[in-house]
Chain A
Amino acid sequence: SQQGEEDPQALSIQEGENATMNCSYKTSINNLQWYRQNSGRGLVHLILIRSNEREKHSGRLRVTLDTSKKSSSLLITASRAADTASYFCATGSTGNQFYFGTGTSLTVIP
């Protein structure tokens, strides 16, 4: 079953703008990971945030986690055309497997 749910389902922005996508989940987690997937390709790991962390940065990426609201957000700053992809959150819990959301499709217009 898929625990996470990303919002919005699709997002279209101009190059240089910031893109924000959200992930909501249902049960307690140990960590949350964000992945990027280009069309028809494998998933690329972007960032992992632990349940005791509130914010994490990696390059142009900023991830926040609010365990009280069971939600996370991924911010991509100064977007580029190459950022066009689908973005998924995946929640990890004590069961060791992790569950993916339905994804946000991001289009960055040059």
Chain B
Amino acid sequence: DTGVSQDPRHKITKRGQNVTFRCDPISEHNRLYWYRQTLGQGPEFLTYFQNEAQLEKSRLLSDRFSAERPKGSFSTLEIQRTEQGDSAMYLCASSLGQVNTEAFFGQGTRLTVV
């Protein structure tokens, strides 16, 4: 499979629990992005990595959120002390990291906080 892979596809968790999502980008892509999408809205930028370096974080990414890309390959997004407002689709994308190159998305992880 040469596409972007996200795991799990669905996650239901109780409020206050921690959750972690994984994203495996397309293998030769050095740039990786995380987005969040709520129902009826477009994806909102959260953060992105160039190789293992996290270069930008949105103000949407509160201190309960942390993202890593330890070896410049897969990435994880952790949400601590989840809140009901965290319920959303979390999307990962990757690109070659050059200007004017397409970004390709995974199928997303749908998080439901109950």
Contacts and interface: CB of A to CB of B under 8 A. Distances in A.
Given A41-B107, A45-B105, A96 B100 contact: no
Interface residues of A, number: 27
Contacts of B102: 33, 45, 48
Interface in B35-51: 35, 41-45, 48, 50
Given A42-B106, A48-B102, A92-B100, 20 more contacts: A30-B99, A30-B100, A33-B103, A40-B89, A41-B107, A42-B105, A43-B43, A43-B93, A45-B102, A45-B103, A45-B104, A48-B100, A48-B101, A95-B56, A96-B31, A96-B48, A96-B50, A100-B42, A101-B42, A102-B41
19 contacts: A33-B103, A40-B89, A42-B105, A42-B107, A43-B43, A43-B93, A43-B105, A45-B103, A45-B105, A50-B100, A88-B42, A92-B99, A92-B100, A96-B48, A96-B50, A97-B56, A101-B42, A102-B42, A103-B41
Interface of A: 1-2, 4, 30-31, 33, 35, 40-45, 48, 50, 88, 90, 92, 95-103
